[in-house]
Structure 1
Amino acid sequence: MLIDTLCSVALYCQRCGKVQLLDVPLFSGKQQLKLRCGACGEQMGETILRPKHGLGLTIHCGVCGKSTYEQFSWHQLKKLRFEKLYCHHDHFELGYIGRWQDIAEFLDFNDAEYDSLHPGDGDRFLERQQILLEGLTRVHELAAHGDLSCPCGSQEVSAGLMGDSIVLQCQECGSSCVLPMRSAEDLAHIYQAVGASWRLRSTL
């Protein structure tokens, strides 16, 4: 069985929102490889090569805060050209795997398609995605440290994306809070915005 000596993955960095297209060598002698964002250094995931099983890929999801694991056998890798990667928990699109050229062509097509639908928007689409992901990361960090709670006192809070906003919802009483994330200014004032509606530790 003959397969390429490497495959490629393109992942959305869950911190800065940029798309990183990376090569994954299959016969480099390295069993594990950390996949890091070239822009901010964030670890986006990692690969592990198993001689009998093929390629294992772990990707971190900034939306649900969990990791997704995908396993590709050598037979699958032989035929793989382009495949989308999704979070197993909330079906959020995390990136793509396949041949470098096929992934690059898909990304170029997506950019051209967006530009044709929003000719005056320029790079605002990627910028907005970056702001949303960074805002969601900061909210998750607040919740993880116990610094965020509903006005009812509960800390059982879920966070999700709706358009250009982050929505917080209390799992205890059902109260919700909408945080617009349309600009860098919204991101800079996210703690004040959360604190205006919900309980936020004053030390932050």
Structure 2
Amino acid sequence: MVVEISTAFAMRCPACGRLEVHQLNIFQLSGEKELDFYCECGKHKAAVKRKGSRYISIKYYCIICDLEHTKVMPSNIFWSKRHLNSLVCLDTDLNLGYFGSYRLIREELDRQQEELNSMANELGFDEFADPEIMLEILDYLHDIAATGGLYCECGSHDINIELFSNKLELCCSNCNSAKQISASSKEDLTRLKTLDEVVIKLAAGKSKNSKTHR
């Protein structure tokens, strides 16, 4: 009987935004050798290395806080084919990628794509300059909002979104201040992903009320 000990790694490139799935096996991590992962564009994304005989270390660049994070876990967790594990920003807990069995990663990525396609159909995304970029920007804004990082300077977290062909507008339902975000290119997505907060500036003539953001 042949037992294959392998895992897969998926992480969006911090430079060009491309999402790739890499596979590795236990022999590639022999000794103290560090295995590096690069995007097709040449950007270094992460490095995996053994720590002794029982642990695996993953170092990965975080576009959100512009730092390199390190995740250390038992070897049996890293090589397990039963669970899909997330790589997150250690400051904001926002998701950056996955590692686990290739099958589970593909299933998760396919599920996300189906959700994006469904959303695109509901919203009529054929009219956007780049529907995929618009969807990813909306998804990222949703993640930021879930952590309390999307709000207006007036203190309100009640934010409405209006979509245009190449941008979206965030509008505060409390004071009507607005902020526009470009959403037509990978550069727009990369720029947004450097933020862990999106704050709408008060419009001229508006004043802060008694609310405070959480």
* Fold shared, TM-score > 0.5 on shorter chain: yes
Q: Deviations over 1:15-73 (max 9, x none)?
A: 111211111222223621111112x1111111112342332101111111011111121
Partner in structure 1 of residue 181 of structure 2:
180
1:88 aligns to what SS in structure 2?
coil
Structure 1 residue 5, shift from structure 2 partner: 2.2
Is the 1:5–1:25 Cα contact (8 Å) retained in structure 2?
yes
Aligned-partner SS, 1:83: strand
Q: CA deviation at 1:4?
A: 4.2
CA contact (8 A) 1:32 1:47 kept: yes
SS of the aligned residue for 1:59 comes to strand
Match of 2:125 in 1: 121
Q: Alignment length, in residue pairs?
A: 148
The 8 Å contact of residues 4 and 78 in structure 1, kept in 2 or not, is answered as no
- Conserved? CA contact 1:11–1:20, under 8 Å: yes
1:39-78 maps to which residues of 2 (within 5 A)? 40-78=41-79
Q: In 2 relative to 1, CA 26–129 (structure 1 residues): closer, same or farther, beyond 3 Å?
A: same
**Quick one: distance in 1 between partners of 2:90 and 2:132?**
25
Which runs of 5 or more residues in structure 2 are unaligned?
Answer: 141-160, 162-166, 169-177, 192-214
Residue in 2 aligned with 1:112? 114
What TM-score results when the alignment is normalised by the length of structure 2?
A: 0.57
Displacement of 1:113 in angstroms is 1.6
1:1-204 pair list within 5 angstroms? 4-28=4-28, 29=30, 31-38=33-40, 40-80=41-81, 81-119=83-121, 120-121=124-125, 124-126=131-133, 129=136, 180-184=181-185
Helix, strand or coil for the counterpart of 1:79? coil
Cα deviations across residues 112-156 of structure 1 (Å, max 9, x unaligned)? Answer: 1210121243662346648xx9xxxxxxxxxxxxxxxxxxxxxxx
User: CA 1:74 to 1:115, structure 2 compared with 1: closer, same or farther past 3 Å?
Assistant: same
Is the 2:64–2:89 contact (alpha carbons within 8 Å) kept by the matching residues of 1? no
The root-mean-square deviation of aligned C-alpha atoms, in Å, is: 3.6
Shift of residue 12 of structure 1? 1.1
Contact 2:89 2:96 in 1 (8 A): yes
Whether contact under 8 Å (1:17, 1:126) holds in the other structure is no
When the two structures are superposed, what TM-score results if normalisation uses the length of structure 1? 0.60
3-state SS of paired residue (2:125) = coil
Percent identical across equivalent pairs?
A: 18
Q: 1:111 to 1:179 in 2, by over 3 A?
A: same
Structure 2 residue matching 1:116: 3-state secondary structure? helix
SS in 2 for 1:112: helix
- Residue 169 (structure 1) aligns with: none
